[in-house]
Each structure stands twice: as structure tokens, then as C-alpha cells.
């Protein structure tokens, strides 16, 4: 169960560079390509002629030429032409509203009439030259809500990511969860602790001592349908923590866009935005590599968890205080899905 | 849906050389082997003793010895003997009529009483020393009719095989389809064009200039159940095209025997017969290699098309003029399948 | 269909050395680990917090720490603690009675109240220093009863294992099957024959001539639920065969513990116990290697047989004299399964 009248990240511009891209999103088989002005288009990945996948075709002058018999598909899902054929009577493909913004291609898998680009959340880090971003994409066989749970409860860092960002102090400080409108925020502040390896690397990357006590924070923000942006960082202890001056901290935003492929699989766009040394491409690469390694540690856990849950549909997940972020996020999703099912259009408010 | 009271190509003699061969054909799990006089036999791939696959056994003196406990199976599906056992009461295996002819093993998966070898189509190229043949076998996960469609509409060459046999002129000339009895013929003649790479290679193979305009032809012949033989060739332009003297053309027959494995998978026997330089084994090998590469380009398209169609069983394929060959072939198949279901025996007339 | 109120071999101590071990047994997803005193524990492989697989966690001081959020699971299936949580209300995991004995971990997948370690069969070869043992584990996709059939009818050696332990004389001597209580014994004695390669190797391993006639024996003993121990050996001919003095024979026990994973898959613990040259570790290794190779020859046969049987659920397996061992074993299993279904507790008597 996922809302469909909302924006999801579909792919990155890199993925569209050479070829059209076939990708299933929210159960819809789509093909993405660039139209005549370079704008992004998405239509059903199904040739109206004989059902061939249009993603095996190629893009010529902003139109998608089917790789089987040359039907030419336009950005609007209508057949433009086909060698030797009159195409006026051809059935149209469903098309999807797609928008390129912030270094991602966004798609609205539901009712296109409701697709308002203004509802794409503003991402300051993606437009400011004070920030640098690096990230990647994983395919994971799990319900998208399991990944939301994962990210809204960072106590798992102590166990899943013990050698990089985990530390026992995470477990010792209870997180605080609050809900404002459709946003859920789960916060944890740890004071006067030693930084774990990943954060020592980040301190050094910002030319700061890494062998002194720090204050560490995690501020997880869920917004529908399944974006989790997490402010994380460390500051030399006693300098104000999260509020400390930029000169004595290393902080970033963990970026997580979770896009359902099916009920039990996702496209997981992960990354990190940082506002120190933004021009240091080597640092971006090394953070990206470290984060990719860390996030890959979640994969097997999530996939096996999913299989366990499918085996025991009757069992309830516990809802502890540490789970409050995920629990509240799921409540918002339930409300949106119900509203959508009731035909309410379920416009999702922009945030940030 | 496929007719079963008809001859299909089951395998090649090479495949029977060392061992019995297990192969599913039209949903029947068969094992092929050579009997006492070297004749081909086919029985259910199931040992009446404990259900072991007989294809894991070995052939001894023209009988199939089960590789599990030594039951000896005869060509007629009856147990001949078994160490220490009286076998008279053993249940008999279904057996299938199989015939070796034209360099292939043919099998009749349906009612054996109707299996008349005279119904195997005559293949002149397979018996004349004026012809040479080379070919191969692919397993493809698609309905056999999708492959018939593919071969009866060669406009796909322009898109799927752009670098070898495709050229834009194919699209520009509409094909002509005619039906005579159970045979469907789709024809296309292109005049005064430049030959694409594969045909330039063939011209050189026949010691002809490859840099002059040619006339090119494609004559696709479907006969039930799923044989598609395609006369293809190029002649130096203005010499009569298809009718031109052998000294100024390179022509061949593309041979396609499509054997359903299940409703959504096939054994695809492909090859090319040519009547120029038939003794040139190196040329045979190089044509075979080129054709194998070309035909492998269809695989992903057909398999993804099949998956798309399974996702959308409610959608109709379009039936354009270029699809007429496949459409007419399917009509004949529907008629034969209906007749067979009605108990009519559905003898399939020989052709060629 | 398998009995669950009985002891199965679950794993070997080696498999528990570093990490907890997740394994499905009789349809139950279990995780095995060592408790505070090194004793073996088995609980459901499901974290009561969020359904994560406990087998991805680690063992700390004899408790299983979930690798996701640190829930601490005790040997009894109850949550011991969890960072920052009160765990008293947490639902308990099913736990299973597990016992380490004879170099294996045994588990009782059914009603724990009935689990009596005294019911584990006595294995003299596993406790006496007159014996040496080597073995391994295969996963096979077949019903556990197909493996019992396999082992209770060794005529298959002639066909499946022709190059090692097979010989035509096996087929020529009919086996004799007897049932005493819940034990089935199938016996075959071959006199004055030449030993096949594996047994020649074993004779040499016992410093005996390998090029003289021998008497050979096979005594297969089935005991529920699915243990098959086979006394096998050769003695120089005329010295009393099975009863011959140890100085002129090479004999061993083929050890087979077959543990159902699902209805159509098994964990197959195979090995060989010998009472000649027990201290010769090199001989143990070379026998183990030879046996592993031999037993791997059964895999494809069993898996393909299983698929054939699933395709033809209506067909009956033949029940020949050579099949009597398997047939009688299945009768005992049917009786035990029926008794268990009737709530009888189905205590399985110890034997040997």
C-alpha cells in the first residue's frame, strides 16, 4: 500500500544519458526518456503496436522509437508516426508527469491532473553552492515502509553499522519524536562522547581534531510519501552542538528517497549533502564510498526481515518508543492512502 | 495453445550423439535416444519404477537403461527387463512417433495413430548437394506465436538488426501477404538499393561486387504448425532480382523451426540454406556465426514482449498491414487447434 | 509429511562456531546458538521487536543479540533485555529443545514437552575411540522419503555410482528386508567377487591385498524418523564375510541423517564411521573426499526425480522386492505421522 498521487524520485539524470530507461514504480511499468527540449518524459513501457518494451528502443530527436518495428512514441503517450502506417487510431499509452529537479527525475504515478510540481519539496542543499552532494541507488526487496522504519530509528546504527557510525551511546539516549502536520521528526542528541570512525573521518575532512570529545546529533525528518532527510553531525564538545559555529563541527544531511517498485520492493536513492568543504570532490567521493558501504549493510537485514514478515502476516510489530518515528510516519501514510482511496486527491503538502 | 497432431523439430542428430536427451515439447516431457538399428525413439522421460528421469540413463544396444536402478526401457515405451525383476506388469510409458529426416529429429507430440511421416514437409535444400546448411538452437521464453509474428514481419530487421541486415528501405516498401490453403506468404521486393553489411559479406562470399546497387527480396513462407522458411537474397540491380541468374546474385533460405516447449517458451531451430558455393565450409561457418549473432538480438525483445503481454492479458495486439503474415498464420493455427479439440484429427497437409 | 515429535540432526558443532545459525527444519525457521554454559539453544529465527532474523545477530555471553536493534534473546525464547526498554510484555519466541550429542546438534521440532534426550539413538561409533568418523552436509531439493528410498535400495550403486562402489553383482543378489518394531533392515551379501574401486582403496587403507576375491555386505538399517545407518564392508573371501576377523576385512558404517527442511527439501548429513586404523586422519580425509564425490552423484537424480513426481501426483511408484526397505520405512512413518496427528504424542523408541 502506497500513495500514488504524489512525487517520487524515479531516477537520476545519469541513468537517462544514453538510452531510455525502463523502471517499475508503484507497480507501473514506465519508460523514461528526454523529449525534444531535453525535458523528461515518462510513458507506459509498452508499445501499442505489439506490446514490446519501449525501453529497448532509442531516443531520436526527443521521441522514443520502438526497437522492434519503429513505432514513434511521443512524450504524451501518443503514437507520432510509424513507417508506412496511419497511426491516428492507435491506442494511447498512459503517460506520467515527470519533472527534473534538484539533480533527480521526479514522477507522479497517480492521477496526472493532480500532479503539481510545486508539491515537490524544496531542497536547499541541492541548489546552494554552499553544499556538495554525493549518492547512489540500491534495489532492495522490501516494503518501502520497512526502510522508513529503518531510517526513523537510528538505534540500528549500533548493531548494523557497528564499525562506522554505530556507538553504544546511541542506545543510551532515548529519541524524541514529534509530529507537525505531515512531518515526523525524531531527534537524538548525544553529548561529550567520542566520535565513531565515520565521523572522525568527517572531522578530519573539515580540518578538525578527531580525537577530542564531541556532541553528536541526529534529526530525522520524514515527509510523505517516503522521503527521510536526516540532519547528522558532530561538534567539538561544549561548543553548542547542533547550534555550534560551522568552524568547530562537521555536519551533513543524509538524504533518503524511497520509491516503491512493488508492494515488496523499492528503489532506494541514498546520499549525503554536506556544507563544509563543498568544493572538495575527493572528499565527496570518499564520503560517498563510505556511505555506500554502510548502507549496503542494511540490505540483507531488510530483505530477510521482509521474508520473515511475509511468513507471519498475523504477527504485529512491536511499537516501542524508539519506533515512534516509523509508527507516526505510517499513520500519516495510512491517512493519505485512505484519502486517496476515497477519491480525495490527497494532495501532499510541500515541506522544508 | 498449439496443435499437437503435427510434426515438430525436436532436436538435431548431434544432440543424440553421446547420451539420451531429455526435452519438453508441447508440454510433454520426452526423452530421445537411438534404438537398435539407430532409429530415433522418444518416450516419456519418466521411469515407471520410481519416476526417475530416464534422460539421466544411458543407451545400451538401442535400449535406454535407467540411471537409477537399471530398468531397461524399449523404444515402444515398454519395460524390456530389469535386474532381478519380472516386468510384465509394469505400466507402459507413453511413446511418441519420431523420425529422422533432413538433418533433424521430428516428433509428433499428439495422437500417435495419426502420425504419418509423409506429412513432414519436403525440404529440397536439405537433400540436394547444390545446397549447404548451417544453423543452431536457442531456447526462448516466449509464446511460439510471437516468434512466428517476428519472422513473418521483417520490418523488425531495421530496428532489431540495424547493423547487419536492417536498412531503412525495408520500412519503405509495404509487404504483400497472401494465403493459399494452409500456407501464408509475405513478400517484399526492394529495388536498386545498397546492400547492408550481412549481404555485402554474402556477395563477396559468392565472388560478386558488394559496392553496387542491388535488388533485394524477402519471401516469408509460414506452414503449420510453426515452420517459417524465408527466401532472401540480393542480385546486382536490374538483372531480374529474385529471378536473376545465379551468377549475379546471392540468395538463401532462412530456416526457422519453432517448437513450443510450454505455452510461453520455445525451442528455436534457426539456420540458413544457401545454393552458392555449397562446398565452402568456411563460408558456411561464417554465415552461421553472423546469423547466430543476428538472431540472438531478438531474444531479449521477445522475452520482454512476452512478459509485457502476460501483464496485460486484456490488451489486443494491433493488426497492421505489416502484421498480416503473423495474423493469417495465427488464423490457420486457430482453425487447426479448434479442429483438433473437436477430435477431427487435424491432419496437417504437407507443403513445399 | 514428516513426524515432528522426534529428534532430527540440525547441524554440526562446526556450524555454530562463529555465529548463530539460521536453518529451517520441518518447516520451522530456527536459529541455533550456544547458551551461557556452551549448551545449544534453538529459538524461532524471528525478533519479537520487528521481525528481523535473529540469525543475523551475534552471540554475547550466551545470549543472542539481535543484529538490528539490539534486543537480547535468551535460550528459552524470552527477551532478556533491550537497550532503553522494559521487555516484560514482549511476546515470547517459540523455542525448541536442542541437544549436542555424538558430534551433532539434535533438535525436536514438535511438542517440547515430549522431547526426551533419551530417545536419541545410541551411536557407539561416535563415542568409542575404536572408531573414526568423517562426513559432510548437502542440501537437496527432494522429499526426505526419496532419500530414504535411495539408501534402503543400494541396487542404485550399480548405476549411479558405477565407477566407485557399483558392480553388477549387486543387481544379481536379491536383498532381504525384515522389520522389527520400528526398525527396518535390508541386507545383501555378495560372495567371492572382486571389490570395486572404493573398496579396493579401503582394503589398502587397512593394509590388505586389494586384488583378491572378497565377500561384500550391505546391511541397511532404517530407524525413524529418517536415520539410515548402513553397515558395509568387504572381507577376503571365505574368511567369514561380515563375521570375519578384523584382520582380514575393511568395514564401516555409512551414516545418513536426513532432516526435512520443507516437504520437498532436505538437509542431508552423510558420513562414514570405520573401525580400522581409526587414528589415521589422512585416511579419514581421503574416505570423506571419496564418499562426498559418490554421494554428490545422487543429487541431480533425486532432484529431477522429485520434479517428475510433482508433475505426476497421480502416478504410483512401483513397489518391487528391491524397494521393500523403503516401502516398509514409509509404512512406519505413516503410522507415526498418523499417531502424531491423532495427538498420541508419538514417542519414537530409541534403537541400536
Angle at A195 between CA A192 and CA A201, to 5 degrees: 145
To the nearest whole number, what is the mean pLDDT of chain A? 94
| CA separation for the pair A222, A220 (Å, rounded) | 7
Kindly report, residue by residue over B69-110, the tens digit of the pLDDT.
999 999 999 999 999 899 999 999 999 999 999 999 999 999
Is residue B264 within 8 angstroms of chain A, CB to CB? Answer: no
Q: Note the pLDDT tens digit of each residue in C101-131.
A: 999 999 999 999 999 999 999 999 999 999 9
CA distance B82 to B69: 8
How far apart are the C-alpha atoms of A245 and A252, rounded to whole Å?
Answer: 14
Contacts of A52 in chain B (CB under 8 A): 301, 304-305, 308
Signed CA dihedral, C31, A322, A261, A300: sign only: negative
Separation in Å, CA B193 to CA B156, B211, B213, B235: 18, 10, 5, 10
Asked if B213 reaches chain C (Cβ–Cβ under 8 Å), the answer is: no
pLDDT at residue B345, rounded to an integer: 57
Q: Which helix (H) or strand (E) holds A269?
A: strand A265-274
Average pLDDT for B50-62: 96
Look-up of cell digits 511475509: A310
- The residue among A46, A42, A53 whose CA lies nearest residue A15 is A42
- The reported pTM is 0.93
What's the order of all strands across the beta sheet hosting C79-81? C58-60, C63-65, C72-73, C79-81
So what CATH class is A127-341?
Answer: alpha beta
If residue A130 lies in a helix (H) or strand (E), which one and from where to where?
none
Say if CB A93 and CB A48 are below 8 A apart: yes
C190: β partners: C216
A299 contact C CB<8A: no
Q: Tell me, what's the pLDDT at B121?
A: 93
CATH number of C8-118: 2.102.10.10
Residue C42 and residue C343: Cα distance in Å, rounded? 24
> Is it the case that residue B181 has pLDDT exceeding 60?
yes
- CA torsion angle A337 A339 A340 A343 (round to 10): 160
Per the CB < 8 A criterion, the answer to whether B301 and A54 are in contact is: no
In what side-by-side order are the strands of the sheet with B28-34?
A: B8-11, B104-108, B95-101, B40-44, B28-34, B21-25
Asked if residue B348 has pLDDT above 70, the reply is no
- The answer to whether the beta carbons of residues B287 and B293 sit under 8 Å apart is no
Distance CA B51, CA B36 (A): 24
Rounded to 5 degrees, φ, ψ at B10 are -100, -40
> Is the pLDDT at A22 greater than 70, yes or no?
yes
CA-CA-CA-CA torsion for A323, A326, A327, A330, nearest 10 degrees?
Answer: -170
From its phi and psi, is residue B133 left (phi > 0), alpha (psi between -120 and 50) or beta?
A: beta
Q: Which residue of B has its CA nearest to C168?
A: B83
CA–CA dist C309, C302 (Å, integer)? 10
Instruction: Count how many pairs of residues, chain B against chain C, have C-beta atoms within 8 Å.
Output: 67
Does the beta-carbon distance from C308 to B45 stay under 8 Å?
A: yes
Q: How far apart are CA A155 and CA C68, in angstroms?
A: 8
With H, G, I as helix, E, B as strand and everything else as coil, classify residue A32.
strand
Do the Cβ atoms of C46 and A321 come within 8 Å? Answer: no
Q: If DSSP states are collapsed to H, E and C, what string results for chain B?
A: CCCCCCCEEEECHHHHCCCCEEEEECCEEEEEEECCCCCEEEEECCCCCCCCCHHHCEEECCEEECCCCCCEECCCCCEEEECCECCCCCCCCCEEEEEEECCEEEEECCCHHHCCHHHCCCCHHHHCCCCEEEEEEEEECCCHHHHHHHHHCHHHHHHHCCCCCCCHHHHHCCCEEEEECCEEEEEEEEEEECCCHHHHHHHHHCCCCCCCCEEEEEEEEEECCCEEEEEEEEEECCCCHHHCCHHHEEEEEEEEEEEEEECCEEEEEEEEEECCCCCCHHHHHHHHHHHHHHHHHHHHHHHHHHHHHHHCCCCCCCCCHHHHHHHHHHHHHHHHHHHHHCCCCCCCCCCC
Between the alpha carbon of residue A54 and those of residues A74, A75, B147, the distances in Å are: 11, 12, 18
| pLDDT score recorded for residue C309 | 97
pLDDT of residue C6: 97
d(Cα A259, Cα A247) in Å, to the nearest integer? 36
- Chain A residue numbers with beta carbons less than 8 Å from the beta carbon of B160 are 67-68
| Positive or negative torsion for Cα C144, C148, C154, C155 | negative
Residue A163 pLDDT greater than 90, yes or no: no
B352 pLDDT band, cuts 50/70/90, is very low
Q: In Å, how far is B150's CA from the nearest CA of chain C?
A: 32
Find out whether A235 and A241 touch, Cβ atoms under 8 Å.
yes
Fold of B128-341: Naphthalene 1,2-dioxygenase Alpha Subunit; Chain A, domain 1 (3.90.380)
Contact pairs from chain A to chain C, CB under 8 Å = 68
What pLDDT sits at residue A351? 43
CB A158 within 8 A of CB C70: yes
Residue A238 neighbours by CB under 8 Å, 6+ apart: A192, A215
Give the pLDDT confidence of A58-75 residue by residue, as tens digits: 999 999 999 999 999 999
Q: What is the average pLDDT across C60-75?
A: 96
B262–chain A Cβ distance below 8 A for any pair: no
Q: Which CATH architecture has domain C126-341?
A: Alpha-Beta Complex (3.90)
Give residue-wise pLDDT tens across range C330-350: 999 999 999 999 886 545 544
What pLDDT does residue A349 have? 47
Q: Does B313 touch chain A (CB under 8 A)?
A: no
Contact C318 B29 (CB under 8 A): no
- Is residue B56 scored above 80 in pLDDT? yes
A119's CB contacts (< 8 A; 6+ apart) are A6, A7, A347, A348, A349, A350
- Residue B264 to residues B27, B29, B44, B146, B315, Cα–Cα distance (Å): 10, 15, 21, 10, 17
Report the pLDDT value the prediction gives residue B315, as an integer from 0 to 100.
Answer: 92
CB A210 within 8 A of CB A203: yes
Q: Which of A48, A53, A69 sits opposite B322 (nearest CB)?
A: A69
Residue B349 has a pLDDT of 47
Q: What pLDDT band is residue B276 in, cutting at 50, 70 and 90? A: confident
Q: What is the mean pLDDT of residues A140-159?
A: 96
Residue C126: enclosing H or E segment and its boundaries? helix C124-127
* Phi-psi label, residue B38: left if phi above 0, alpha if psi -120 to 50, beta otherwise: left
Within chain A, residue ranges assigned H as helices are 124-127, 144-152, 157-160, 168-172, 197-205, 281-311, 324-341
Beta carbons within 8 Å of B260's beta carbon, 6+ residues apart: B2, B8, B25, B26, B27, B143, B144, B226, B266
Contacts of C67 in chain A (CB under 8 A): 159-160, 301
pLDDT at C345: 57
- Report how far residue A202's alpha carbon sits from residue A284's, in angstroms, rounded to the nearest whole number: 10
Q: What angle do CA A320, A321, A323 make, to 5 degrees?
A: 65
The gap between the terminal CA atoms of chain A, to the nearest Å, is 25
The pLDDT assigned to C344 comes to 64
Q: Which residues, in sequence order, are bridge partners of residue C223?
A: C227
The set of long-range contacts for C82-85, using a CB threshold of 8 Å and a minimum separation of 24, is C82/A320, C82/C49, C83/A155, C83/A158, C83/A171, C83/A172, C84/A155, C84/A171, C84/A172, C84/A174, C84/A321, C84/A322, C85/A320, C85/A321, C85/A322
Subunits in contact with chain C (3 or more CB pairs closer than 8 Å): A, B
Q: Residue C60: beta bridge partners? A: C63
Task: Burial-class residue C10 by CB neighbours within 10 Å (0-12, 13-18, 19+).
Answer: buried
Q: Given this model, what pLDDT does residue B350 score?
A: 44
What number is the ipTM of this complex?
0.92
Grid cell for residue B82: 530389469
Report d(CA A115, CA A106) in Å as an integer: 11
**B241 pLDDT higher than 90:** yes
Whole-number Å distance between alpha carbons of A124 and B292: 53
Half-sphere exposure in the Cβ direction for B108 (13 Å, CA): 23
Bridging pattern class, strands C40-44 and C28-34: antiparallel
- For chain B, what is the mean pLDDT? 94
- Measure in Å the smallest separation between the Cα of C108 and chain B Cα atoms: 31
User: What does the domain layout of chain B look like in residue ranges?
Assistant: 8-118, 128-341
Q: Which residues pair with A250 in a beta bridge?
A: A234
Chain B residues near residue A57 by CB distance under 8 angstroms: 159
Which residues, numbered 59 to 118 in chain A, qualify as contacts with chain B under a Cβ-Cβ cut-off of 8 Å?
Answer: 65-70, 82-85, 90
CB distance B337 to B1 below 8 Å = yes
Cβ burial, residue C118 (10 Å; 0-12/13-18/19+):
exposed
Amino acid at each position: 500500500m502506497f500513495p500514488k498521487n504524489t512525487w517520487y524520485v524515479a531516477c537520476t539524470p545519469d541513468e537517462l544519458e544514453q538510452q531510455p530507461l525502463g523502471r517499475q514504480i508503484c507497480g507501473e511499468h514506465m519508460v523514461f526518456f528526454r523529449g525534444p527540449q531535453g525535458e523528461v518524459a515518462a510513458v507506459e513501457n509498452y508499445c501499442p503496436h505489439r506490446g514490446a518494451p519501449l525501453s529497448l528502443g532509442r531516443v531520436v530527436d526527443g521521441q522514443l522509437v520502438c526497437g522492434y518495428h519503429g513505432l514513434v512514441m511521443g512524450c504524451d503517450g501518443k503514437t507520432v508516426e510509424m513507417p508506412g502506417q496511419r497511426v491516428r487510431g492507435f491506442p494511447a499509452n498512459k503517460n506520467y508527469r515527470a519533472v527534473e529537479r534538484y539533480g533527480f527525475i521526479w514522477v507522479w504515478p497517480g492521477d496526472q491532473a493532480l500532479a503539481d510540481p510545486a508539491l515537490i519539496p524544496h531542497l536547499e542543499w541541492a541548489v546552494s553552492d554552499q553544499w556538495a552532494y554525493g549518492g547512489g541507488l540500491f534495489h532492495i526487496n522490501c516494503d518501502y515502509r520497512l526502510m522508513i522504519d529503518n531510517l526513523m530509528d537510528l538505534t540500528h546504527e549500533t548493531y548494523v553499522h557497528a564499525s562506522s557510525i554505530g556507538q553504544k551511546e546511541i542506545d543510551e539516549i532515548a529519541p524524541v519524536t514529534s509530529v507537525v502536520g505531515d512531518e515526523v521528526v525524531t531527534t537524538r542528541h548525544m553529548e561529550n562522547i567520542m566520535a565513531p570512525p565515520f565521523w572522525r573521518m568527517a572531522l578530519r575532512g573539515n580540518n578538525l581534531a578527531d580525537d577530542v570529545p564531541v556532541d553528536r546529533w541526529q534529526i530525522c525528518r520524514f515527509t510523505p510519501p517516503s522521503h527521510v532527510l536526516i540532519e547528522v553531525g558532530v561538534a567539538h564538545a561544549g561548543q553548542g552542538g547542533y547550534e555550534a559555529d560551522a568552524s568547530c563541527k562537521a555536519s551533513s544531511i543524509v538524504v533518503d528517497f524511497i520509491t516503491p517498485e512493488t508492494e515488496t520492493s523499492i528503489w532506494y536513492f541514498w546520499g549525503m549533502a554536506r556544507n563544509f568543504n563543498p568544493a572538495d570532490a575527493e572528499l565527496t567521493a570518499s564520503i560517498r564510498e563510505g556511505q555506500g558501504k554502510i548502507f549496503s549493510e542494511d540490505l540483507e537485514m531488510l530483505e530477510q526481515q521482509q521474508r520473515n514478515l511475509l511468513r507471519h502476516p498475523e504477527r504485529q510489530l512491536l511499537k516501542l518508543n524508539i519506533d515512534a518515528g516509523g509508527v507516526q510516519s505510517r499513520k500519516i501514510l495510512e491517512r493519505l492512502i485512505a484519502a486517496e482511496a476515497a477519491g480525495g486527491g490527497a494532495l501532499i503538502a510541500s515541506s522544508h
